[in-house]
Structure 1
């Protein structure tokens, strides 16, 4: 089996109840990479200490804000993001979820808070929601997919026989601040992208941002700076000599991978309740989320009477393509 085999399995309606099952289907070696640190994995593979601390660690800091103590599988995913064969969507990567929602013909309740999920019986759940006007209402569903981190989540689970958060004790997400700056770099940083291999630095990377069509004729260049906390005016002035526009996105972007000993969580929290984000604890990336999303869809499909399998079959499950619109 190769890592890419998971796509063929999912096209054949193969579902997975847990992250471990999914990784095993991709390759048992991949699951083993979640049980060893990135540093130990590279050291065992005879990579030099300098290569690990100066190059590999800087890439891990850029992509996950964490050093090489992260699990090896997470580290390998971060290193893949440093390659030259990377893709972006013209018009912004935001078009991917927007068109997925559009083509699914889902009833999207944007900016609506889910307060609680109440179990009413087999295949029946009631959600309490609050909209942008502050109005609270309830809606009933046959299945629930949780597509948000379950760490110290505000969603209450009511009338379930077990605590649905039991699989996520003391799991936290890592804070990442992305600062977009239209301006010119100071001489110290000019003419190059900067990666930091030192966790004590106030930033982890400085990189030029280009349009998808690779246009380089902007009057004012745009840079993206990653950091763990918001940058002060003084810190920005250390990097830039001329600042025209600043935009900041401060969020908890991915799990904090503080241990290789924690078991990976399940996708099924309760019959009929599924957790897409469980896959992030193996590695966080849009490609991983898409695999987790397809698996959640297959679990629901199976719950509602569709034919799925735990082994490879030739039956396919099609989803309306959106590639032409992208």
Structure 2
């Protein structure tokens, strides 16, 4: 019996099939209508999983006021398509890999970057194409700090990867804290409560390595410093690994593909409010429905739903969606989202701006800056076209907290032939003092973007989407034994 249980668990984890959501009870009818607010990766993935769990007789409406894909977006510069939003996907992003395979899309591997770190006066570190040269450089300047960080990173990545096992078994969580607790105990759950600076100092990493290597990477990914929480720091450092990839023809292809395969109704409108409505059923039980009100140009409209999944940011700094007639206030955070400006420039980088006057050609493909650099950019990297086989023009992707303007372009580039700029409220402004809000806002009202207050990546939103769909399923059919439990721990007890 023990051997069978272990084999069964292994089958669930490695088999690329659907998650087990449990068998609905015979008494509760499935929901008639579900609303998903937002058609970015979170909303599109949620629609996909909701269709799996609730079947084809449930109507799913997806509301989107902008473009499908949200912060996953592409643009054309000099005749080539480039990512202007979320650009890279980690090799261990199993949900995104599953979506790409399901939709018949293709992965486009990113070439390995050569990193240079600028401190305001010089490049304190410049990566070589030769592994042994980099190893010697790192040892010479930082001792074994880079190995300490690598081991720390792999340890916590391994713990967090258990989420795929939990979701394969159909388990879900009402809060991020409970999710992290189930995956890695107190150590993992407390990563959102202290900074990456504190976490790395605790394992003996020097302040020099934190300031010159860890900080610049976090500036490139989150636009902030080493005061971000340790979980954000972990996900940021993961984006320096090799084998990063993007979806050929653009990451937004996943969003449009999932919505199409889920056979949803896409409503082009901006949701303005959600109102709780009480109504009696035939058996006498009073249940709550949700009225979703929206604007479509000059016109207004509304829809009534049994379940609502909010897949767009909610925070009191920008209350775009209002909640009415709820018995308790809806729990949203007080913080704000971080603005990030992405500028794609086809041109020749002005290396003298970084005090680089070497006789050899400038080989780095990513320039990161320290917090002490006093620079108006967070970093820059060579952007790769998202169509395979095209000979790329040299297009730089510059990240900055504010628009560069003509003066900034003149400083950074000796000359340029094309430029495109986009501004995003990319993710929350992180602090270890942040409170991560719950996924459950009301009986059958869920908020996927709560996960962003722990960390924000493409795969994190896909994980939140599956968690939210499982929560919606289990709470609808009253399968409470599938919520806020650790299935692997339960299996150990049973064995």
The normalised TM-score by structure 2 is: 0.59
Change (3 A) 1:213 1:138: closer
Q: What is the distance in 2 between the residues matched to 1:251 and 1:119?
A: 31
Deviations 1:41-69 (A, max 9, x none): 11111111111001100001000001001
Match of 1:74? 232
- 1:11 to partner: Cα distance: 1.6
SS class of match (2:265): coil
Match of 1:239? 412
- 1:167 to partner: Cα distance: 3.6
- 1:191 to partner: Cα distance: 3.3
Paired residues of 2:174 and 2:440 also in contact (CA < 8 A) = yes
Q: Does 1:198 align with 2:198?
A: no
SS class of match (1:26): helix
Match of 1:175? 339
Say which of 225, 243, 257 aligns to 2:430.
Answer: 257
Paired residues of 1:173 and 1:256 also in contact (CA < 8 A) = yes
SS class of match (1:109): strand
Q: What is the distance in 1 between the residues matched to 2:378 and 2:249?
A: 26
Match of 1:142? 306
- 1:85 to partner: Cα distance: 2.3
Between structures 1 and 2, the one with greater helix share: 2
Give the greater-gyration-radius structure (CA). Answer: 2
Deviations 1:127-158 (A, max 9, x none): 11111x32101111111111111112211111
* Structure 1 residues 143-162: aligned runs within 5 Å: 143-151=307-315, 152-162=318-328
Deviations 1:152-194 (A, max 9, x none): 2211111111221x4412x111110011112222243643221
Paired residues of 1:64 and 1:78 also in contact (CA < 8 A) = yes
Match of 1:4? 161
Say which of 252, 273, 278 aligns to 2:450.
Answer: 278
Q: What is the distance in 1 between the residues matched to 2:377 and 2:388?
A: 26
Q: What is the distance in 2 between the residues matched to 1:187 and 1:195?
A: 13
Change (3 A) 1:23 1:243: same
- 1:313 to partner: Cα distance: 5.7
Q: What is the distance in 1 between the residues matched to 2:159 and 2:237?
A: 18
Q: Does 1:207 align with 2:373?
A: no
* Structure 1 residues 8-47: aligned runs within 5 Å: 8-28=165-185, 29-47=187-205
Q: What is the distance in 2 between the residues matched to 1:261 and 1:139?
A: 38
Match of 2:262? 104
Paired residues of 1:115 and 1:155 also in contact (CA < 8 A) = yes
SS class of match (2:160): coil
Q: Calculate the aligned-residue CA RMSD, in Å.
A: 1.9
Change (3 A) 1:212 1:156: closer
**Greater CA drift, 139-148 or 203-212:** 203-212
Paired residues of 1:13 and 1:307 also in contact (CA < 8 A) = no
SS class of match (2:204): coil
Aligned residues: 308
Give 4+ residue runs of structure 1 displaced > 4 Å after superposition: 212-216
Match of 2:242? 84
Match of 1:113? 270
Paired residues of 1:210 and 1:216 also in contact (CA < 8 A) = no
SS class of match (2:293): strand
Q: What is the distance in 2 between the residues matched to 1:74 and 1:187?
A: 31
SS class of match (1:59): helix
Q: Which runs of 5+ in 2 are unaligned?
A: 1-157, 279-286, 355-361, 489-495
Q: What is the distance in 2 between the residues matched to 1:261 and 1:313?
A: 30
Q: Does 1:305 align with 2:477?
A: yes
Q: What is the distance in 1 between the residues matched to 2:424 and 2:229?
A: 22
Q: What is the distance in 2 between the residues matched to 1:38 and 1:313?
A: 29
Q: Which runs of 5+ in 1 are unaligned?
A: 315-326
SS class of match (2:228): coil
**Greater CA drift, 302-311 or 51-60:** 302-311
- 1:287 to partner: Cα distance: 1.2
Q: What is the distance in 1 between the residues matched to 2:369 and 2:388?
A: 25
Q: Does 1:124 align with 2:297?
A: no
Q: What is the distance in 2 between the residues matched to 1:229 and 1:217?
A: 31
The normalised TM-score by structure 1 is: 0.89
- 1:261 to partner: Cα distance: 2.9
Change (3 A) 1:53 1:216: farther
Q: What is the distance in 1 between the residues matched to 2:445 and 2:314?
A: 13
Q: What is the distance in 2 between the residues matched to 1:149 and 1:109?
A: 18
